[in-house]
A and B are shown apart, each in its own frame.
Chain A
């Protein structure tokens, strides 16, 4: 799924490891999400949105508008 996770992460100056630690997953999971190889669960998507204080749809684009 298309996402802007790396942009938000860079904005806050976080490494993948630090973000992973903050939301309770592995660094590899954050990397896989940023590379659009893994779609996070709803729970993780909401945790990430809460971490960056933004709505979930600002982070993830399911591409339903096509």
Chain B
């Protein structure tokens, strides 16, 4: 028995295949890169990681089918907002608790925690800059 696929079906399956390839490239590259670093092949690990990221970009930009549509962008916006809200809540609570613990007790908050908190602050500064940039254009 033979099946004939419409051009729409073919294009949709091509889109699905390319999207899978994109994610396999980037997550596969990151995973294998991590494994190689763990196995003491740091340079090869980094190379695999970079190749994975470049493959992701090459498929995304080089594909002849549209891989993302407006719903995908809307999903990304919503996910970004949710992540930012959760990160903001964690930042407020943990930063405040860390300062209080430092002032009121003898406990020293690990440098790693401060590093993470400053990383979060950097993320929010980047968000603010990006927001101002887009506000001028919208």
Contacts and interface: CB of A to CB of B under 8 A. Distances in A.
Interface residues of A, number: 18
Contact of B6 (A18, A27, A29, A41): A18
Interface residues of B, number: 13
A44 B7 CA distance: 21
Interface string A6-29: 000000000101101110111111
B12 A17 contact: yes
Given A18-B6, A32-B71, A38-B74, A24 B11 contact: no
Q: Does more than half of chain A's interface fall in helix, strand or loop, or is it mixed? A: helix
Interface string B56-91: 000000000010011110100000000000000000
A25 B74 CA distance: 13
Contacts of B6: 15, 17-18
B8 interface: yes
A29 B9 CA distance: 15
A44 B11 CA distance: 19
B12 A25 contact: no
Contact of A26 (B7, B9, B15, B74): B15
Contact of A40 (B8, B11, B70): B70
Interface of A: 15, 17-18, 20-22, 24-29, 32, 38, 40-41, 43-44
